[in-house]
């Protein structure tokens, strides 16, 4: 999770640097690196457009969703999850009895659980280069369910106001007006179910930032990757997706919620549809 948070912060904090580079390096970007500087400029113009958070995130989870998710999981696992104020504590000592029922959670409930992994990272804050950034998972949504796959969309919000306030020295002051106070990252990955229990792989489906289109976002992150070697937009999208899915499902090396329950009878995971709603299910041995 720390790698994800720091990567997201780097993405948010260098928009001003990109602006300066584009303003001064059009020919270098176009002919040396084959990066479309026109799309980059269009993207920079759209980044600073105000994002209507309520409209962009129509499926935001809340505290009630977290409490409901804990109630559902604990009803099957003898109070495996303890809600300690703002933190969720996984009490493995309580994982002694077999799961009583399969566990089914909707996307809002899953989002509320996954958000605690972000929130617990320095209380939703991280410091990079002397600046403190707030990182928040706003929304998690399931869609496009197929026989062996389901799309998972997350929305992250990064506050970069502390960085923007310091952009008063040349050449950063040239691009200060391009930098918004908040960066919104919209990530969609496809979770592909494998043939073995708990097996999955991810495909990068779409990734965009603020009011930018996917096409405008991609070259912005090509510049970021040239400077900081953190990956292109597809690679960052997969980092976001794998961090969330690893915490939800898990593997032998990155044990997530479902994988941890193998010791009490969890046999696999699945995505199912009930009454028009997509649910994440932790199966159990019968």
Round to whole Å and give the CA distance between 64 and 77.
Answer: 20
At residue 52, does pLDDT exceed 60? yes
Phi, psi of 129 (to 5 degrees): 60, 30
What is the predicted pLDDT for the residue at 134?
A: 75
At residue 27, does pLDDT exceed 60? no
pLDDT per residue as tens digits for the range 201-251: 999 999 998 888 998 888 777 776 666 666 788 988 998 899 899 989 998
């Amino acid at each position: 999770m720390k790698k994800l948070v720091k990567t997201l912060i780097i993405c948010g904090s260098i928009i001003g640097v990109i602006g300066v580079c584009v303003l001064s390096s059009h020919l270098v970007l176009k002919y040396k690196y084959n990066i479309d500087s026109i799309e980059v400029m269009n993207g920079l113009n759209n980044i600073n457009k105000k994002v209507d958070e309520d409209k962009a995130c129509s499926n935001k989870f809340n505290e009630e969703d977290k409490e409901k998710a804990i109630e559902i999981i604990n009803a099957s696992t003898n109070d495996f999850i303890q809600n300690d104020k703002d933190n969720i504590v996984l009490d493995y000592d309580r994982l002694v009895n077999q799961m009583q029922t399969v566990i089914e959670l909707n996307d809002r409930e899953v989002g509320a659980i996954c958000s605690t992994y972000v929130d617990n990272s320095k209380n939703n804050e991280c410091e990079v280069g002397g600046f403190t950034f707030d990182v928040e998972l706003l929304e998690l949504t399931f869609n496009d369910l197929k026989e062996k796959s389901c799309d998972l969309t997350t929305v992250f919000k990064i506050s970069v106001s502390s960085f923007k306030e310091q952009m008063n020295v040349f050449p950063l002051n040239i691009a200060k007006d391009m930098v918004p106070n908040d960066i919104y990252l919209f990530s969609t990955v496809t979770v592909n179910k494998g043939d073995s229990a708990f097996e999955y792989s991810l495909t990068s489906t779409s990734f965009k930032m603020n009011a930018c289109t996917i096409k405008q976002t991609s070259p912005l992150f090509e510049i970021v990757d040239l400077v900081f070697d953190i990956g292109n937009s597809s690679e960052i999208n997969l980092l976001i997706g794998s961090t969330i899915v690893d915490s939800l499902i898990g593997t032998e090396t990155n044990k997530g919620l479902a994988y941890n329950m193998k010791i009490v009878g969890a046999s696999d995971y699945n995505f199912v549809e009930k009454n028009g709603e997509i649910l994440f299910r932790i199966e159990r041995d019968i």
